[in-house]
């Protein structure tokens, strides 16, 4: 369903929280918002400074009073985690269906973060009908820290998300312009740029506040006209503060928002009023189905069609099992080939090292040897550097040797840097 059609179902009130500020001295920017099919509205805002150093009961009481004031006590909050705690990545996976999306992302997840073997929490979602997947990754320790703080204060949570996902969803609940879009949000010493274009469905990055070329760099990443007007997020959403308001809109309509949620499923709470929405929809569908049943007289035709559909489903299940086995076999084969390639490359690199050791005379001393896929670079000192080019090219392993800059005579030796190609891609 297109997001514009989903706006017809956009009813609700929500609470958004942005954890802002440097680590150890963070503040909470809180906003309450309301969503209707034709508009979105900021109800109120609250700031709790340095909340982690205050007793949880104190700022939890302030938060509860804020909810009572705007009659949103039943709503769990959507929390935007600090940018330094979340890694946001994008993957392009053309041809991957939603059914196979989780397996495809999991296969590449380890290479998308620098945390090594540390326990992480990750969430991802497809951007509209594109092949681009937005991924958010955070350390589990950070998630547990914030979860514990909010639990002590008695705050009900619906989601932990990132600013990019919140902005992406909020723009579709408002009358924000569509097409090429470039926004920025000041965040203390940093500025966050967010954009959308035909070339990139979503762009999000932070730049130092002193970086004068930030807008031009963001426009280049989006592949849009550098003269495109850069607007503030507050200007486009018509609310300040903008980020907690964006989170409040996703809290108001979580089922219509980008489902990027780093909060463990067992800790997520739902709005008690929102629980009636699926029941109301299901009841309406039952009424419509009953009316259709009595309106269609061809009962025997329906029975025949039902029997035929059951047989088709039996055959489809068998075909789906075979297709699933084929996909698993292909995935295992691809991983095996990848591992074999790694093993072969390691042996080739060791052979290069052995050949270079054999070629160079004992009078040559190396202080650098870089072995890359297509080239080898060496640097060091020798009595005479010029003959080394011919000596290296005489090997069947190398070709096209050349100096990277002229040799430099230092006392009794010449310092040199030589780059040579690995012959035949060895």
What is the mean pLDDT of the segment spanning 238-258?
A: 92
- How far is the C-alpha of 154 from the C-alpha of 132, rounded, in Å? 37
Q: Beta 12-20 vs 190-196: how paired, if at all?
A: unpaired
- How far is the C-alpha of 148 from the C-alpha of 141, rounded, in Å? 11
Q: Which of 176, 171, 195 is nearest to 250 (CA)?
A: 171
pLDDT tens digits for range 189-206: 889 999 999 899 999 999
Is residue 14 located within the same domain as residue 129?
A: yes
What is the mean pLDDT of the segment spanning 285-312?
A: 76
**In the predicted structure, residue 292 carries a pLDDT above the cut 90:** no
- As a whole-number percent, the residues of the chain with pLDDT over 70 amount to 90
* DSSP labels, 21-61: SSTTS-EEEEEEEEEETTEEEEEEEEEETTGGGS-HHHHHH
Sheet strands (E) in 209-340:
231-232
* Cα–Cα separations (whole angstroms), residue 345 to 106, 349, 392, 397: 25, 6, 21, 14
Is residue 263 located within the same domain as residue 369?
A: no
CA 107 to chain centre: 15
Is 286 part of any domain? no
Q: Which CATH number does the domain housing residue 374 bear? A: 3.30.1360
Count of domains for the chain: 2
pLDDT tens digits for range 29-74: 999 999 988 888 999 999 999 998 999 999 999 999 999 999 999 8
Is residue 261 located within the same domain as residue 402?
A: no
Q: Indicate the pTM of the whole model.
A: 0.63
Q: Residue 278 belongs to what H/E stretch?
A: helix 276-295
Is 346 part of any domain? no
**In the predicted structure, residue 288 carries a pLDDT above the cut 80:** no
Bridge partners, 212 (sequence order): none
Q: What is the mean pLDDT of the chain?
A: 87
Is residue 133 located within the same domain as residue 268?
A: yes
Is residue 273 located within the same domain as residue 141?
A: yes
pLDDT tens digits for range 355-395: 888 888 888 889 999 988 889 999 999 988 889 889 888 89
Is residue 268 located within the same domain as residue 378?
A: no
Is residue 171 within 8 Å of 256, Cβ to Cβ? Answer: no
Is 83 part of any domain? yes
CA 125 to chain centre: 8
- How far is the C-alpha of 423 from the C-alpha of 371, rounded, in Å? 13
Is 205 part of any domain? no
Q: Residue 92 belongs to what H/E stretch?
A: strand 87-92
pLDDT tens digits for range 143-179: 999 999 999 999 999 999 999 999 999 998 887 667 7
Is residue 412 located within the same domain as residue 263?
A: no
**In the predicted structure, residue 411 carries a pLDDT above the cut 90:** no
pLDDT at 337: 84
What is the mean pLDDT of the segment spanning 83-112?
A: 92
Of 246, 277, 308, the residue at which a domain comes to its end is 277
pLDDT at 211: 81
Is residue 15 located within the same domain as residue 160?
A: yes
Is residue 22 located within the same domain as residue 117?
A: yes
**In the predicted structure, residue 1 carries a pLDDT above the cut 50:** no
**In the predicted structure, residue 118 carries a pLDDT above the cut 80:** no
Q: Which of 78, 90, 85, 122 is nearest to 204 (CA)?
A: 90
What is the mean pLDDT of the segment spanning 13-26?
A: 90
Is residue 167 located within the same domain as residue 51?
A: yes
**In the predicted structure, residue 340 carries a pLDDT above the cut 90:** no
User: Which residue range is the domain that position 69 belongs to?
Assistant: 3-174+238-277
- As a whole-number percent, the residues of the chain with pLDDT over 90 amount to 47
pLDDT at 2: 46
Is 311 part of any domain? no
* Count of Cβ atoms closer than 10 Å to residue 243 Cβ: 26
pLDDT at 271: 63
What is the mean pLDDT of the segment spanning 102-113?
A: 91
Of 217, 252, 277, the residue at which a domain comes to its end is 277
pLDDT at 104: 93
**In the predicted structure, residue 277 carries a pLDDT above the cut 90:** no
Is residue 401 within 8 Å of 393, Cβ to Cβ? Answer: yes
* Cα–Cα separations (whole angstroms), residue 137 to 33, 91, 112, 167, 359: 27, 13, 8, 17, 48
């Amino acid at each position: 369903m297109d997001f514009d059609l989903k706006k017809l179902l956009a009813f609700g009130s929500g609470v958004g929280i942005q954890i802002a500020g440097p680590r150890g001295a963070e503040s909470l920017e809180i906003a309450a918002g309301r969503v209707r099919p034709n508009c979105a509205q900021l109800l109120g805002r609250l700031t709790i400074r340095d909340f982690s150093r205050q007793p949880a009961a104190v700022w939890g009481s302030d938060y509860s009073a804020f909810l009572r004031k705007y009659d949103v006590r039943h709503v769990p909050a959507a929390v935007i985690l600090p940018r330094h705690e979340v890694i946001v990545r994008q993957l392009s996976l053309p041809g991957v269906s939603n059914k196979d999306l989780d397996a495809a992302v999991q296969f590449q997840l380890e290479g998308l973060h620098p945390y090594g073997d540390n326990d992480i929490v990750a969430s991802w979602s497809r951007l509209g009908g594109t092949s681009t997947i937005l991924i958010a990754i955070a350390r589990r320790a950070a998630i547990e820290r914030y979860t514990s703080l909010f639990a002590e204060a008695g705050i009900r949570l619906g989601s932990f998300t990132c600013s990019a996902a919140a902005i992406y969803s909020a723009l579709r609940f408002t009358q924000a312009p569509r097409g090429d879009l470039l926004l920025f949000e000041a965040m203390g010493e940093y500025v966050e740029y967010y954009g959308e274009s035909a070339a990139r469905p979503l762009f999000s990055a932070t730049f130092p506040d002193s970086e004068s070329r930030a807008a031009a760099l963001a426009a280049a990443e989006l592949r849009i006209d550098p003269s495109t007007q850069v607007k503030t997020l507050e200007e486009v959403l018509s609310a300040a503060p903008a980020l907690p308001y964006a989170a409040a809109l996703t809290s108001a309509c979580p089922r219509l928002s980008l489902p990027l949620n780093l909060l463990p499923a067992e800790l997520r709470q739902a709005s008690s009023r929102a629980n009636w929405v699926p029941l109301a929809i299901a009841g309406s569908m039952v009424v419509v189905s009953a009316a259709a049943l009595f309106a269609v007289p061809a009962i025997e035709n329906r029975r025949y069609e039902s029997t035929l559909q059951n047989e088709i489903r039996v055959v489809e299940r068998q075909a789906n099992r075979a297709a699933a086995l084929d996909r698993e076999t292909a995935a295992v084969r691809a991983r095996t080939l990848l591992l074999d390639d790694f093993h072969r490359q390691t042996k080739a690199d060791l052979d290069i090292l052995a050949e270079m050791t054999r070629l160079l005379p004992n009078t040559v001393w190396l202080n650098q040897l870089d072995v890359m896929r297509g080239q080898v670079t060496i640097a060091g000192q020798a009595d005479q550097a010029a003959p080394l080019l011919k000596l290296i090219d005489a090997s069947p392993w190398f070709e096209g040797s050349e100096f990277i800059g002229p040799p430099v005579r230092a006392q009794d030796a010449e310092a040199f840097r030589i780059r040579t190609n690995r012959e035949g891609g060895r």
